[in-house]
């Protein structure tokens, strides 16, 4: 009886284990099928994910190589040095401007000559006026006022004829009239020739007079070169007028000089050649050592003056002897 009960209980135990294993297999199959269906429909429905807090790894410190640190520090130093250099350069420029302005303020005042109608003085006058007044103001009314102030005679009348015009137009017209009457190239050349004609004849061995004449001709050459009308002075008649004021010996030497220019350079002598010749002769005459050498021989006039009283006295003695 007990043996039968033990066998039956063993059979029940085996059956229970078998059923449990089948249930596990079936549940595993169902789970696999469900998982496959879930994979198939994952794009359509995403099941809610449970909030799972994953532990975050601590932040890792990036270690920069020492060479990279040196490059970064050197680059920052270079940029800082460049900024400092730019600031110093700007300071130097400002300092130079201040020094230049200080020097200009210490210069003496610029005197503008009053223009009275001499064509030879027109260029110097108009340049001084433009530099001292025209460049320092944009008001044409002020320019016209000062232009009237620094002219006299006929030039002033020309400027006054433009005072009642609109300032900008009046100032331009006043300058145009002055240039037309006194700044024309032919008028300036004629003025120089007229002054050369009125120049006194230069005596031989008069170094000072020759030097003054040379300085006048140098000024004429520079002015005519500046206005690009030097060919007006190359006229043969004008050249002969200039040469006519020289001493006789210098005229002879100039004839030889002009012939050499024609022979060697295959052109005739020009005004610049004549001015260079006279300038050199003036330097020779004004040489501090041999420029003025006095003649030690007595002149014939002086000798005659000394002999005349002796002859008169001898004639009187002869007359007295005849009377006695």
> What's residue 109's pLDDT?
74
* Rounded Cα–Cα distance for residues 318 and 159 (Å): 83
Name which residue leads in pLDDT, 5 or 62: 5
Name which residue leads in pLDDT, 145 or 196: 145
Query: Is 0.85 surpassed by the pTM of this model?
Result: no
> Which of 224, 198, 289, 214 minimizes the C-alpha distance to 250?
214
Query: Is the pLDDT assigned to residue 23 strictly greater than 80?
Result: no
pLDDT band at 186 (very low <50, low <70, confident <90, very high): confident
Query: Is the pLDDT assigned to residue 37 strictly greater than 60?
Result: no
pLDDT, tens only, 200-240: 999 988 889 999 999 999 988 888 787 777 787 888 888 99
> What's residue 216's pLDDT?
93
Name which residue leads in pLDDT, 3 or 250: 250
pLDDT band at 189 (very low <50, low <70, confident <90, very high): confident
pLDDT band at 276 (very low <50, low <70, confident <90, very high): very high
Distance of CA 16 to CAs 9, 11, 21, 275, 290, Å? 11, 9, 9, 146, 155
Distance of CA 322 to CAs 73, 280, 311, 313, 319, Å? 132, 64, 17, 15, 5
pLDDT, tens only, 277-317: 999 999 998 887 776 666 566 555 555 555 556 666 566 56
Radius of gyration of the chain (CA): 58
- Residues linked to residue 59 through DSSP beta bridges, in sequence order: none
């Amino acid at each position: 009886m007990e043996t039968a009960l033990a066998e039956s209980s063993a059979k029940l135990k085996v059956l229970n284990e078998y059923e449990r294993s089948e249930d596990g297999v079936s549940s595993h199959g169902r789970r696999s099928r469900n998982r496959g269906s879930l994979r198939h429909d994952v794009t359509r429905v995403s099941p809610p994910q449970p909030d799972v807090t994953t532990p975050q790894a601590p932040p890792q410190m990036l270690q920069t190589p020492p060479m990279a640190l040196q490059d970064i520090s050197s680059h920052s130093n270079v940029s800082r040095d460049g900024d400092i250099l730019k600031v110093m350069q700007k300071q130097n420029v400002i300092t130079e401007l201040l020094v230049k302005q200080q020097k200009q303020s210490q210069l003496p005042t610029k005197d503008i000559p009053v223009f009275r109608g001499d064509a030879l003085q027109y260029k110097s006058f108009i340049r001084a006026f433009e530099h001292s007044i025209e460049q320092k103001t944009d008001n044409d009314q002020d320019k016209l006022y000062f232009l009237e102030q620094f002219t006299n005679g006929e030039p002033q009348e020309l400027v006054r004829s433009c005072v009642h015009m609109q300032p900008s137009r009046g100032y331009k017209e006043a300058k145009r009239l002055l240039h037309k009457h006194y700044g024309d190239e032919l008028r300036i050349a004629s003025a120089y020739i007229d002054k050369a004609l009125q120049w006194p004849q230069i005596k031989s061995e008069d170094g000072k007079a020759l030097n003054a004449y040379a300085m006048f001709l140098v000024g004429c050459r520079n002015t005519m070169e500046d206005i690009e009308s030097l060919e007006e002075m190359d006229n043969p008649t004008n050249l002969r007028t200039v040469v006519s004021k020289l001493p006789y010996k210098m005229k002879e030497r100039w004839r030889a000089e002009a012939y050499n220019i024609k022979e060697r350079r295959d052109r005739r002598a020009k005004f610049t050649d004549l001015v260079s010749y006279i300038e050199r002769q003036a330097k020779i005459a004004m040489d501090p050592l041999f420029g003025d050498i006095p003649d030690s021989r007595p002149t014939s006039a002086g000798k005659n003056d000394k002999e005349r009283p002796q002859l008169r006295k001898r004639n009187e003695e002869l007359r007295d002897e005849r009377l006695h």
